[in-house]
């Protein structure tokens, strides 16, 4: 396994240990509201600090883009970090949350780590080397038809134009698909697409830390990731993912 991935795994496990230590006393955490349905807790901050400290012990000059601490440092290697993806689930003690770490090397997604500490599931990928779940190779599903596919999504956190755009998409995919799930963690949604658990995924207005690792996982598992208007999903946050056969009917349903 690549040395950067090994450090990323250590960092993700350090964050996971913090999450699990506090899971049975979430009522004692300090919680702030970033938006109507967007929360941040002490655990988010502590987990991100543990990740950054682990990275900088090994690579003190590497750049960081963290959900909580923002962007700092300049280097050809940048770590894109979501310390706790699925904070709302976590705060309700719903066991579906993770740490997501994407590593960009000279402008390209190079490595990915998504770690679910509750289920002890570790998803990893390196560009050109495939994707793994607990060190076993994973592949996207073989679903070919939308009406037989299980699709996962997440609604926009804010009301207004994005919700107005999303609701017709949801209606079309729901009518044309085999089933819809909304799990509350975009990073795990993409990891599950990579593992063939979900057949496809789409969402609007996500942040780089939500999807950087998941994009690489899906691609290295043989799948396709597209921005809804043909651009870069890391920049717009509008993303769809599926296997290479299903991506076109999924995109067609989203577009209407």
Give the β-pairing of 179-181 and 108-116.
unpaired
Tokens 């997501």 -> residue: 100
Give the β-pairing of 150-154 and 179-181.
parallel
**71 labelled ligand-binding:** no
Using CA atoms, how far apart are residues 86 and 171, in angstroms rounded to an integer?
Answer: 24
- Answer for the pair 211, 101: CB distance below 8 angstroms, yes or no: no
CA distances from 116 to 16, 101, 104 (A): 7, 12, 21
Using CA atoms, how far apart are residues 166 and 159, in angstroms rounded to an integer?
Answer: 10
Using CA atoms, how far apart are residues 177 and 251, in angstroms rounded to an integer?
Answer: 12
Q: CA angle 98-243-248, nearest 5°?
A: 120
**32 labelled ligand-binding:** no
Using CA atoms, how far apart are residues 165 and 155, in angstroms rounded to an integer?
Answer: 10
SS3 53: helix
Using CA atoms, how far apart are residues 62 and 215, in angstroms rounded to an integer?
Answer: 21
In 121-246, which residue ranges form alpha helices assigned H by DSSP?
Answer: 161-176, 186-194, 208-220, 233-236
Using CA atoms, how far apart are residues 208 and 215, in angstroms rounded to an integer?
Answer: 10
**85 labelled ligand-binding:** yes
**147 labelled ligand-binding:** no
**133 labelled ligand-binding:** no
What are 3's two structure tokens? Answer: 């040395």
Binding-site entries for Mg(2+): 67, 82, 84-85, 210
Binding-site entries: 67, 82, 84-85, 210
């Amino acid at each position: 396994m690549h040395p950067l991935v090994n450090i990323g795994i250590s960092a993700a496990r350090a964050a996971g240990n913090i999450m699990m230590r506090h899971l049975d006393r979430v009522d004692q955490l300090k919680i702030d509201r970033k938006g109507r349905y967007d929360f941040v807790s002490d655990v988010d901050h502590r987990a991100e600090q543990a990740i950054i400290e682990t990275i900088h012990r090994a690579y003190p000059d590497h750049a960081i883009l963290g959900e909580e601490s923002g962007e700092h440092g300049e280097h050809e290697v940048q770590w894109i970090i979501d310390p706790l993806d699925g904070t709302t689930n976590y705060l309700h003690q719903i066991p579906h949350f993770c740490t997501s770490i994407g590593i960009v090397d000279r402008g390209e997604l190079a490595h990915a780590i998504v770690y679910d500490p509750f289920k002890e599931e570790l998803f990893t990928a390196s560009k050109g080397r495939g994707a793994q779940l607990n060190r076993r190779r994973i592949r996207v599903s073989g679903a070919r038809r939308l009406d037989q596919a299980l699709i996962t999504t997440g609604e926009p956190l804010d009301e207004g134009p994005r919700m107005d755009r999303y609701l017709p998409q949801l209606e079309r995919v729901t009518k044309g698909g085999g089933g819809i799930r909304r799990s509350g963690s975009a990073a795990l949604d993409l990891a599950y697409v990579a593992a063939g658990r979900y057949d496809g995924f789409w969402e609007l207005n996500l942040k780089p830390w939500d999807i950087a690792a998941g994009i690489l996982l899906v691609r290295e598992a043989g799948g396709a990731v597209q921005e809804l208007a043909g651009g870069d999903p890391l920049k717009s946050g509008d993303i769809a993912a599926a296997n290479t056969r299903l991506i076109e009917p999924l995109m067609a349903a989203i577009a209407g």
